[in-house]
Amino acid sequence: MIRAKQELLQALQAALAELSATLGVAPPPAAFESPRQAAHGDLAVTAAMPMARAARTNPRELAHRLVDLLGRQPAFERWVSGLEIAGPGFVNLRLASAARQAVVAEVLTAAAGYGRAAASGRRVMVEFVSANPTGPLHVGHGRNAALGDSIGNLLEAQGDEVHREFYYNDAGVQIQTLALSTQARLRGLAPGDADWPAEAYNGEYIADIAADFAARKTVHADDRSYTASGDIDDLDGIRQFAVAYLRHEQDLDLRAFGVRFDQYYLESSLYTSGRVEATVRALVAAGKTHERDGALWLRSTEYGDDKDRVMRKSDGTYTYFVPDVAYHVAKFERGYAKVINVQGSDHHGTVARVRAGLQALAIGIPAGYPDYALYKMITVMKGGQEVKISKRAGSYVTLRDLVEWTSRDAVRFFLASRKADTEFVFDVDLALKAADDNPVFYVQYAHARICSVLAQYGGRRDFAGADLARLNAPTEAALMLELGAYPEMLARAAAELAPHDVAFYLRGLAAAFHAYYASERLLVDDAELARARMALLAATALVLRNALGVLGVSAPESMVRAPAAEVPA
Q: Flag whether pLDDT at 294 surpasses 90.
A: yes
Count CA within 13 A, CB hemisphere, residue 156: 16
| pLDDT value of position 388 | 84
The model carries a pTM of 0.91
Query: Would you tell me which CATH number, out of the four given (1.10.730.10, 1.10.20.10, 1.10.150.20, 3.40.50.740), belongs to the domain 439-566?
Result: 1.10.730.10
Q: Flag whether pLDDT at 563 surpasses 80.
A: no
Stretch 42-67: mean pLDDT: 92
pLDDT level of residue 172 (50, 70, 90 thresholds): confident
Tell me the C-alpha distance between 126 and 145, whole Å: 11
| pLDDT value of position 567 | 35
8 Å CB contact between 354 and 348: no
Tell me the C-alpha distance between 409 and 556, whole Å: 10
Q: Flag whether pLDDT at 391 surpasses 70.
A: no
Lowest-pLDDT range, 160-164, 394-398, 539-543?
394-398
Span 66-109, pLDDT tens digits: 999 999 999 999 999 899 999 899 999 999 999 999 999 999 99
In angstroms, the Cα distances linking 297 to 32, 271, 289, 303 are 49, 19, 5, 14
Q: Flag whether pLDDT at 560 surpasses 90.
A: no
| pLDDT value of position 389 | 72
- Per CATH, the number for 2-95 is 3.30.1360.70
8 Å CB contact between 259 and 129: yes
Domain parsing of the chain, residue ranges: 2-95, 175-248, 439-566
Spatial CB neighbours of 94, under 8 Å, sequence gap ≥ 6: 41, 42, 80, 81, 82, 83, 84
Tell me the C-alpha distance between 297 and 214, whole Å: 46
Print burial letters for 70-92: b (CB count within 10 Å at least 16), e (below 16): beebebbeebbeebebbeebbbb
Examine residue 323 and say whether the peptide bond preceding it is cis (omega within 30 degrees of 0).
Answer: no
- Closest to 463 (Cα-Cα) out of 540, 373, 374, 548: 540
Strand order in the sheet with 80-86: 43-45, 90-95, 80-86
DSSP letter string over 265-311?
EEHHHHHHTTHHHHHHHHHHHTT-EEEETTEEEE-GGGGT-SS-EEE
Span 212-248, pLDDT tens digits: 999 999 999 999 999 999 999 999 999 999 999 999 9
Tell me the C-alpha distance between 424 and 367, whole Å: 31
3-class secondary-structure state, position 124: strand
| pLDDT value of position 568 | 34
| pLDDT value of position 569 | 31
3-class secondary-structure state, position 539: helix
Q: Which is higher by pLDDT, 376 or 39?
A: 376
